[in-house]
Amino acid sequence: MDKVPNHEQGKLPATLDQCRRCDLWEHATQAVPGVGSSRARIMLVGEQPGDQEDLQGLPFVGPAGALLDKALSEAGVNRDSIYLTNAVKHFKWELRGKRRLHKTPAQKEIAACHLWLEEELARVQPDVVVALGGTALKSILQDGGATMKSFMDAPFRQEGRWVVVVYHPSFALRARDEASRRQAYQVIVDGLRQALRLLDKVR
Ligand code: URA
């Protein structure tokens, strides 16, 4: 990737791969765009690419993706029918030993990347958006202070579409005990089922 001078940062980039609106691109292999049909009625928004996603250039292809696939299948949602993306398009990580460990994106990085999510929302025009975790919610609401707790009880409307908020699959993988992991996973499955039901309420 070409290095873009600092004064160019913050300008509107021509393509996602040329984006220098924050510094995350510098240590990422590549930007990871969303995937799916531009006619998808459901859009899932995750946090940011992980190690595998960064290497392969595709969202949700690592362990969190495997759990998400299981939840989608249990909820009866076909992965090919949805649009899948992340709030932040570059992998933010720190080295621990030989492993690149995920680091939660800062609000300024979420805000810098928000225009790419806006572009996807405008292009796909989903009827239902599922926020997978707090980073997705902050980007969707453009509110760094938004907390999942206040939005998980019921879906809400935003700009003509429904928004459903569930836990991030990584949370369901890493929760401290088996019961918490199972409960978090069930919240994801239930949210996906709810997204399907909401489709009937829009058209
Ligand atoms: N976690 C995310 O939020 N997105 C991915 O694409 C992978 C892991």
Whole-prediction pTM value?
A: 0.94
Provide the 3-class DSSP secondary structure of residue 43.
Answer: strand
What pLDDT score does 4 carry?
45
Helix (H) or strand (E) holding 94: strand 93-96
Look at the chain and report how many structural domains it folds into: 1
Q: Is 48 in the pocket of ligand 1 (CB under 6 A)?
A: yes
User: Which residue among 67, 166, 170, 174 is best mutated to probe the pocket of ligand 1, counting the most ligand atoms within 8 A of its Cβ?
Assistant: 170
Neighbours of 185 (CB within 10 A): 21
Query: Is 1 domain-assigned?
Result: no
Query: Is 4 domain-assigned?
Result: no
Query: Is 13 domain-assigned?
Result: no
Domain carrying residue 30: 20-199
What is the 12 CA–ligand 1 centroid distance (Å)?
24
Q: What is the mean pLDDT of residues 8-18?
A: 76
Query: Is 9 domain-assigned?
Result: no
Bridge partners of residue 84, in order along the sequence: 35, 44
Closest atom of ligand 1 to 168 CA is 3
CATH of the domain at 102: 3.40.470.10
Q: Is 163 in the pocket of ligand 1 (CB under 6 A)?
A: no
pLDDT tens for each residue of 170-186: 999 999 999 999 999 99
Bigger pLDDT: 157 vs 12: 157
Q: Is 105 in the pocket of ligand 1 (CB under 6 A)?
A: no
What pLDDT score does 2 carry?
43
Percent of the chain with pLDDT strictly greater than 90: 91
What pLDDT score does 11 carry?
60
* Res. 9: pLDDT tops 70: no
Query: Is 170 domain-assigned?
Result: yes
Residues 6+ apart with CB under 8 A from 53: 32, 59, 60, 61, 62, 65, 91
Query: Is 82 domain-assigned?
Result: yes
pLDDT tens for each residue of 94-124: 999 999 999 999 999 999 999 999 999 999 9
Query: Is 77 domain-assigned?
Result: yes
Query: Is 145 domain-assigned?
Result: yes
What is the 6 CA–ligand 1 centroid distance (Å)?
28
